[in-house]
Chain A
Amino acid sequence: MSGFLATSGFAIPHIDYTALLPELIMIGGAILLLGIGALRVRHLPPRVYSALTGATGVASLVAGIFLWDKVHGAGHPFAAVAKSLAVDGFSTAFVILASAIIIVSSLLSNDYLEREGVIGPEYHALTLLSASGAMLMAAANDFIVIFLGLEILSIPLYILAALDQRRAESGEAGMKYFVLGAFSSAIFVYGIALTYGATGSTNLAQIAAYLSHNVSTNDGLLLAGAGLLLVGFLFKVAAVPFHMWTPDVYQGAPTPATGFMAAIAKVGGFAALLRVFFTSFHVLSSSWQPIIWVVAILTLVVGAVLGLVQRDIKRMLAYSSINHAGFILLGLEAASTKGISAALYYVFIYSFLVLGSFAVVTLVGGKGDREHSIESFRGLGRRQPLLALALAILLLAQAGAPFTTGFLGKLYVVEAAVSAHSYALAVIAMLTGAIAAAFYLRVVFVMYGTRPAPAGAPIEPAGGPQLASAGASPEIGSPLGASYSPLSAATLVATEQETGSEVGPTSSNPPAAPIRLSFATALGLALTVGVTVVFGIWPAPIFSLAHSASLLFI
């Protein structure tokens, strides 16, 4: 099979379609959506497209689970399609994650599409294509396929960033992302070329074999290639110093697209980054570990410190995502199975955190998607107790509050770093986590802590005549979610009809219209919050998924 590289004729390799099934489902779903969009007789409401997208996500999730069962049950990962695709625990775990992201994102973006009157299936079709790219990157066992995946992942994201034609920032974001992304792709391709020159192959397994059997006396070419590849990856995952695009693109892109982009780009980028550096370049780890060490510290510190001074919540979350990227790099820096497993776990739980956070930001952003200053969250705990509760849980989890997945993710990567004796890195990571907690808490404080003080009242407000009823919502079904309901009972009025007049006098904004939670959004938020809390208390399932994924490596 490896012969097809050497022979002059181009032999068509045997294609194992079951191995490609999740990607094919995603692409098929996108084509179906576009077909319906093109052939439709009359305008279909966005929820039809959203439902189709969700169904595609479910189908690909099922395919992913079958694939997982095949790999996990048989106990042996395998390479397919001329060894350019790896079907192992690692890739199928990311397939499952990408499918889950599509499901949640299709639920969470529907409200936005209806509110903004976006007609047509393009938004969802682009997310599906992008997710298939992320899956391909995770499964790729060949640099060429990684590059294909990278482009399939990125190009839809450029378009998604520029999707909102009414806001100039959106176009700017798309343009910026595209130009910088194209640069990084070029650098990445150059890295592939140099690596191919040094090792004679683009196949990850063959490169690993070559490097373990040959001692190179002059490995400048190889190191340069690896370095350029690293730059390409670090750009995609928004690590410092390749993070410059992140705040602008996150701020400019339509908010649900930002959430999706934050999740899926990290999934694809980290999946390929971990695989390449853990398999092919593992023997070079003494060369790249110090670089990752420095990059991780820069990423952690820049993300946490610059996040402190942001006034726009989307920019703040952009810096927070940079900080999280630093945490995930801890797992790579450890260069151990535990590190890979920890990084995988972190990417997994972070995807849900960021999707949910941006969903709440979308809803609060209002029609036109413009209200994104942290001030616009003032008094949200009173106006919209459930939305505020969901955002509070998600932000506290990002800060690493106990009994949430956010804490376990940080614990896991820090443990991996400590096991690899990177004590300084571990301490710096936790300290930046504490700094980052400051800006998460500021949002939580703005939502809950700011109340109009009754003039002359010496003590806190009286209990309030009427208590909010929160029991009517589906979200309250999550077991511990309820225990986090801060102050929802202290609110004077929380019913939707009266919210407008209850905004505190400190708020200069016009009274915000009550935000209606559709069933889809409520379900999506309940999913993200539920994953965060349930698996924070009962960590075994995702832990064992990440653990076996990192063991079943090709």
Chain B
Amino acid sequence: MSSPAFPYLTVLILVPAGAGILAAGLPGRSRLATKAIGWAGSLATLGFSIAMAVQFATRHGGFQMVSNHPWASSLGISWTLGVDGISLFLVLMTAILFPIALAASGERAGERSFVAWMMVLEAGCVGSFLSLDLIMFFLFFELTLVPVYFLMTGWGHERRGYAATKFFLYTLGASAFLLVGMLALVAIHAGQTGVTTFDIRALAHTRLSSATAIVLFLAFTAAFAVKAPIFPFHTWSPDAYRESPVAGSVVLAGVMAKLGTYGIIRFDLELFPRAVVDLAPVLITLGVIGIIYGGIVAAVQKDLKRLVAYSSLAHLGFIVVGAFALTGPALSGAVIQMVNHGIYTAALFLLIAMIYKRIGSFSTRDLSGIQHKAPVLAGIFTLTMLASIGVPGLNGFVGEFLILTGTWLTHRWWAVAATAGVVIAAIYLLWAYQQVFHGKPTAAEANFTEITWREGLFMAPLVAVIVFLGVYPGPVLSRITPSVDRLVTHIEQVAHPRIPPNGRPIYTAAKRTGSGGAK
């Protein structure tokens, strides 16, 4: 286990947190200094995360750059951070999306509290992805609620109070089960070994009866299913996405939705393999329902933001299906799909915000013929939309393809049903595109301006990532796969103990087909 002299992971959390505190405590009234702090904080985080990715050892399935310091040692809680192939790209994605979200916020990037909350939120998101200690994860996981609440209430749209409170309470309520589940698991582990620790690497070896494992699995999954959200726990998300300011929508859909699915992969799969095997059909079914239901509801939305919210539900359904198919390719697909979905959903919200800035409406009824006025904007929208549909050559395809091929191996008919979701995605997105961009511009669109240089500048990295990951996902997959294989092997050893520790896992054997096809 490599442990470099430079504590990358701790720095990745402390830099944005420090920037947040600095921005909040900044004396004087300088908007320039506030902006500078926001930019410096988020870009430094991006720089450190790239440096971390460079240091990352490719063929290593375990946790790297682990840093471990005691925190509340009388309770067994420690500041334990680590990164593996599953969290690596989520951290990178977070680091990319935050500066872009700041850039897209325009004048607000000069307001002290806005910058402070954004930076605290970034620290919370990165911290959640990097924590190996259950309580540290829970702390960061909950910490993200507070800034989002204030971002929504402070800078949101008309019904922000309702949406923010609903979001906060829904997720907080579900977290109750997560916390109790964590404490119960630790108590059981302490009973078996005499060591009170919240380190998941130790807790993964807890022996659980199948009934206990199922109860604990449900407790953990309750929180993650709400956070993601997984059907039927999604009712907060259209409101929250709709009423958030653009930066909030980008972070909520792009990054925070992944906290839920990441939690499922990192904690559910790692800690309760037997329960996962037992309950996988249920969760896959929920995922497929989410895909179909999200698609159908998205098709009837008149509000672009709500449409993307429901399409997000459908895409998260794919990730859930991939995670619970329990095969190497499907799980790799789920991980890369988390990154892909973060990128193109963020891009869609940014584009919708640009339209809103020009017209003042999210409703497809008020919009028409934009492509005549702004062909470049329409072009970028088309590309992003196609990525979201899952057209080959763009990043959305890679994840969905891997998920579907991997799911086919274990859950054939679910894969068939999920494929229908791809078609539905094409229907609602093309439909919306037609209404907004085709047709004749009305009086409202008369002064519709083309995408500005500034807007183009922050869209460019997203477009580049969409195309790059679609054409050449190899470098990403080669870093994800070892960790995914380790996880799948761990699940098989616990769930089917007859397989010898060094034996060839059944499901990972099929992975070559999957990743080969993607390239």
Cα distance A86–B27 in the bound complex, in angstroms: 51
CB-nearest residue of chain A relative to B112?
A489
Min Cβ gap A423→B in Å is 6
CB-nearest residue of chain A relative to B141?
A402
Would you list which residues of chain A between 241 and 278 have a CB under 8 Å from chain B? none
Q: A471 with B26: in contact, given A415-B183, A448-B153 (CB under 8 Å)?
A: yes
Q: Contact flags (1/0) for A461-497 with B, using CB distance below 8 Å? A: 0111011111110001001101111111110000000
Give which listed residue, B21, B28, B114, contacts A482 with CB less than 8 A: B21
Cβ B245 vs Cβ A407 within 8 A = no
Give which listed residue, A415, A445, A458, A466, contacts B356 with CB less than 8 A: A458
Give which listed residue, A415, A466, A486, A544, contacts B150 with CB less than 8 A: A486
Q: Contact flags (1/0) for A190-201 with B, using CB distance below 8 Å? A: 000000000000
Which residues of B sit under 8 angstroms from A540, Cβ to Cβ? 72-74
Q: Is B51 an interface residue (CB 8 A)?
A: no
Cβ B113 vs Cβ A414 within 8 A = no
Cβ B357 vs Cβ A543 within 8 A = no
Q: Is A437 an interface residue (CB 8 A)?
A: yes
Q: Is B254 an interface residue (CB 8 A)?
A: no
Give which listed residue, A415, A445, A490, contacts B164 with CB less than 8 A: A445
Cα distance A336–B467 in the bound complex, in angstroms: 59
Cα distance A547–B116 in the bound complex, in angstroms: 35
Cβ A485 vs Cβ B107 within 8 A = no
Q: Is B168 an interface residue (CB 8 A)?
A: yes
Q: Contact flags (1/0) for B148-162 with A, using CB distance below 8 Å? A: 011001111100110
Cβ B150 vs Cβ A448 within 8 A = yes
Q: A449 with B153: in contact, given A402-B139, A427-B177, A463-B110 (CB under 8 Å)?
A: yes
Give which listed residue, A412, A427, A484, contacts B176 with CB less than 8 A: A427
Cα distance A495–B4 in the bound complex, in angstroms: 49
Cα distance A480–B108 in the bound complex, in angstroms: 22
Q: A441 with B75: in contact, given A430-B175, A433-B176, A459-B357 (CB under 8 Å)?
A: no
Which residues of A sit under 8 angstroms from B356, Cβ to Cβ? 458-459
Cα distance A543–B76 in the bound complex, in angstroms: 12
Would you list which residues of chain B between 170 and 216 have a CB under 8 Å from chain A? 172-173, 175-177, 179-180, 183-184, 186-187
CB-nearest residue of chain A relative to B155?
A460
Min Cβ gap B91→A in Å is 19
Q: Contact flags (1/0) for A527-554 with B, using CB distance below 8 Å? A: 0000000000001100110010000000
Cβ A437 vs Cβ B183 within 8 A = no
Q: Is the interface of B mostly helix, strand, loop or mixed?
A: helix
Min Cβ gap B146→A in Å is 6
Cα distance A423–B176 in the bound complex, in angstroms: 11
Q: Contact flags (1/0) for B73-90 with A, using CB distance below 8 Å? A: 111000000000000000
Which residues of B sit under 8 angstroms from A414, Cβ to Cβ? 179-180, 183
Q: Is A291 an interface residue (CB 8 A)?
A: no
Give which listed residue, A396, A442, A458, A486, contacts B154 with CB less than 8 A: A486
Q: A483 with B20: in contact, given A427-B176, A431-B176, A466-B29 (CB under 8 Å)?
A: yes
Cα distance A458–B157 in the bound complex, in angstroms: 9
Q: Is B392 an interface residue (CB 8 A)?
A: no
Which residues of A sit under 8 angstroms from B184, Cβ to Cβ? 418, 423
Cβ B111 vs Cβ A467 within 8 A = yes
Q: Is A438 an interface residue (CB 8 A)?
A: yes
Cβ A460 vs Cβ B113 within 8 A = no
Cβ A463 vs Cβ B111 within 8 A = yes
Cα distance A484–B179 in the bound complex, in angstroms: 24
Q: Is A401 an interface residue (CB 8 A)?
A: yes
Cβ B28 vs Cβ A469 within 8 A = yes
Q: Is A222 an interface residue (CB 8 A)?
A: no
Cα distance A482–B179 in the bound complex, in angstroms: 28
Cα distance A282–B148 in the bound complex, in angstroms: 46
Cα distance A504–B136 in the bound complex, in angstroms: 40
Cβ B360 vs Cβ A469 within 8 A = no
Cβ A418 vs Cβ B183 within 8 A = yes
Cα distance A419–B116 in the bound complex, in angstroms: 38
How many chain A residues sit at the interface, stated as a range, is 35 or more
Would you list which residues of chain A between 86 and 127 have a CB under 8 Å from chain B? none
Q: Is B420 an interface residue (CB 8 A)?
A: no
Which residues of A sit under 8 angstroms from B139, Cβ to Cβ? 402-403, 407
Which residues of A sit under 8 angstroms from B21, Cβ to Cβ? 479-480, 482-483
Q: Contact flags (1/0) for A218-245 with B, using CB distance below 8 Å? A: 0000000000000000000000000000
Cβ B74 vs Cβ A544 within 8 A = yes
Cβ B168 vs Cβ A441 within 8 A = yes
Which residues of A sit under 8 angstroms from B28, Cβ to Cβ? 469, 471
Which residues of A sit under 8 angstroms from B117, Cβ to Cβ? 486
Q: Is B71 an interface residue (CB 8 A)?
A: yes
Cβ B165 vs Cβ A438 within 8 A = yes
Which residues of A sit under 8 angstroms from B72, Cβ to Cβ? 408, 539-540, 543
Cα distance A92–B405 in the bound complex, in angstroms: 66
Q: Contact flags (1/0) for B24-49 with A, using CB distance below 8 Å? A: 11111101001000000000000000
Q: Is A189 an interface residue (CB 8 A)?
A: no
Q: Is A517 an interface residue (CB 8 A)?
A: no
Q: Is A411 an interface residue (CB 8 A)?
A: yes
Q: Is A434 an interface residue (CB 8 A)?
A: yes
Q: Is A426 an interface residue (CB 8 A)?
A: yes
Cβ B26 vs Cβ A487 within 8 A = no
Which residues of A sit under 8 angstroms from B110, Cβ to Cβ? 463
Which residues of A sit under 8 angstroms from B150, Cβ to Cβ? 448, 486-487
Q: A430 with B24: in contact, given A483-B116, A490-B114 (CB under 8 Å)?
A: no
Cα distance A396–B160 in the bound complex, in angstroms: 19
Which residues of B sit under 8 angstroms from A445, Cβ to Cβ? 153, 161, 164-165
Give which listed residue, A396, A467, A471, contacts B146 with CB less than 8 A: A396
Which residues of B sit under 8 angstroms from A486, Cβ to Cβ? 113, 116-117, 150, 154
Cα distance A445–B150 in the bound complex, in angstroms: 8
Cβ B154 vs Cβ A448 within 8 A = yes
Would you list which residues of chain B between 377 and 404 have a CB under 8 Å from chain A? none
CB-nearest residue of chain B relative to A426?
B180
New contact pairs (13) apart from A449-B164, A488-B24, CB-CB < 8 Å: A418-B183, A430-B175, A431-B176, A449-B154, A460-B156, A467-B31, A469-B28, A472-B27, A483-B24, A483-B25, A486-B116, A539-B72, A540-B72
Q: List 23 A-B contacts (CB under 8 A).
A: A401-B143, A411-B179, A412-B75, A414-B180, A418-B184, A435-B169, A441-B165, A441-B168, A448-B154, A449-B161, A458-B360, A460-B155, A462-B107, A463-B108, A466-B29, A467-B112, A471-B25, A471-B26, A476-B25, A483-B25, A486-B117, A489-B114, A540-B73
B interface residues (Cβ-Cβ under 8 A, vs A): 17, 20-21, 24-29, 31, 34, 71-75, 107-108, 110-114, 116-117, 120, 135, 138-140, 142-143, 145-146, 149-150, 153-157, 160-161, 164-165, 168-169, 172-173, 175-177, 179-180, 183-184, 186-187, 245, 356-357, 360
The 4 closest A-B pairs by CB, nearest first: A430-B176, A471-B27, A489-B112, A449-B153
